[in-house]
Amino acid sequence: MAEILLSLTIIGVVAAITLPSLTGNINERTWNTQRKALYARMSQAIALMPAVNGYGELAEDDPNNVAEAFLTNGLSKLLKMNNICDNTHLSDCGLPEKITDMNGSIAYSSFPQNLFQLNALFSGNSYEAVYSYSQINTKAAAFETQNGESVAVFYNPSCQTEVAFTVTTGLVWYHTQPKMCANFVYDLNGKKGPNTFGKDIGFITVLYSSDSKVVAPLPLSKDASSAISNINAIAECTKQDAGSRIPSREEVSAMFYNQKLIGISSGVYGSGSILNSDYAWVQSFNIGRSSQERRTQPNSLRCIKR
């Protein structure tokens, strides 16, 4: 009897140790499968839209309903939705109040209700006058899918392909903010939890008013390097995680829009988009600048999974 009790005790201890890990692995696989399925459905719906921008009436003093109009007049005709909510009732569509970033810190103590709350750099910056940029603060809307996901949309009906500006050195750089047409922040299981980016929380971004691109990068939890050239970036990502990749120019721009979710507050990050043999695209998280730098120039690197 003593031996049986001892064996049962050992089995219980082993189960207590391993069960949380096994449960976590199952959740991770479930979230990953669901994330990819949602991305596929969203990409297909966006591809069938005649245009991503231009839905809803937009006045300088009334940006209240453009995201809701985008859902009602556009996306809902191509993607089945159970419910649509305005920005004051986002929780009615199952969105959580608080979101944790990849590092375990609070990304949002309350769910962002408009574009500037998603990322304050949409309202402009004071870094230098030459970098100044401002945009209308459109309000968010949300919807629930038939599969049970809760999705908020931050919408820019005036999105463009590129907006260039010339710095004092004569270089032509680009504002990243205007090329975002729609940014979706989703929760795969509503308020159930853990409400953490990289687990049940993620984002999907639509860029460019014509020939739109839909991206949904899943960044790793920490930088691969704080100073690595574009030439050596592939090897650096592989060294950190064999399944990771360098983000494209569009993917690193999407990471800029959602930097609070990721936990990045500043820095210039490299991409895998090469302009020519000498130059590649980089993204500033301080001001929203997208520019070309020599491939030998070291920058920060955050690898992603797709």
User: What percentage of the chain carries pLDDT values higher than 90?
Assistant: 65
| pLDDT band for position 54 (cuts 50, 70, 90) | confident
Tell me the β-bridge partners of 125: none
Res 291 pLDDT > 70: yes
The pLDDT assigned to 8 comes to: 57
Quick one: 199 and 55 in the same domain? yes
Query: Roughly how many angstroms between the first and final C-alpha of the chain, as a whole number?
Result: 54
Nearest by Cα to 212 from 266, 271, 254: 254
Sign of the torsion angle spanned by Cα atoms 22, 24, 27, 32: negative
Distance CA(205)–CA(179), nearest Å, equals 10
What would the DSSP string read from start to end of 44-93? HHHHHSS-SS--S--BTTB-SSHHHHHHHHTGGGTS-EEEEEEGGGGGGG
Please say which residue of 216, 235, 252 terminates a domain. Answer: 216
Q: Does some domain include residue 255?
A: yes
Distance CA(214)–CA(208), nearest Å, equals 9
163 residue type, one letter: V
| pLDDT band for position 174 (cuts 50, 70, 90) | confident
Q: Does some domain include residue 11?
A: no
| pLDDT band for position 144 (cuts 50, 70, 90) | very high
Quick one: 71 and 164 in the same domain? yes
Q: Which residues contact 43 (CB under 8 A, 6 or more apart)?
A: 214
Res 20 pLDDT > 60: no
The pLDDT assigned to 133 comes to: 74
Quick one: 72 and 142 in the same domain? yes
Mean pLDDT computed over every residue of the chain: 87
Quick one: 175 and 284 in the same domain? no
Parallel, antiparallel or unpaired: strands 225-228 and 81-86: unpaired
Quick one: 264 and 192 in the same domain? no
Quick one: 197 and 285 in the same domain? no
Res 182 pLDDT > 50: yes
Quick one: 159 and 52 in the same domain? yes
The pLDDT assigned to 15 comes to: 46
Parallel, antiparallel or unpaired: strands 299-301 and 180-187: unpaired
Nearest by Cα to 143 from 81, 88, 91: 81
Rounded to two decimals, what is the model's pTM?
0.88
Res 234 pLDDT > 90: yes
Mean pLDDT for the stretch of residues 94-99: 94
Phi, psi of 84 (to 5 degrees): -125, 135
Contact 63, 137 (CB under 8 A): yes
- CATH number of the domain where residue 289 is located: 3.10.100.10
Domain hosting residue 257, numbered range: 225-305
Quick one: 229 and 211 in the same domain? no
Contact 183, 258 (CB under 8 A): yes
Quick one: 59 and 78 in the same domain? yes
Distance CA(184)–CA(1), nearest Å, equals 59
Element (H, E) at 34: helix 2-48
Quick one: 43 and 82 in the same domain? yes
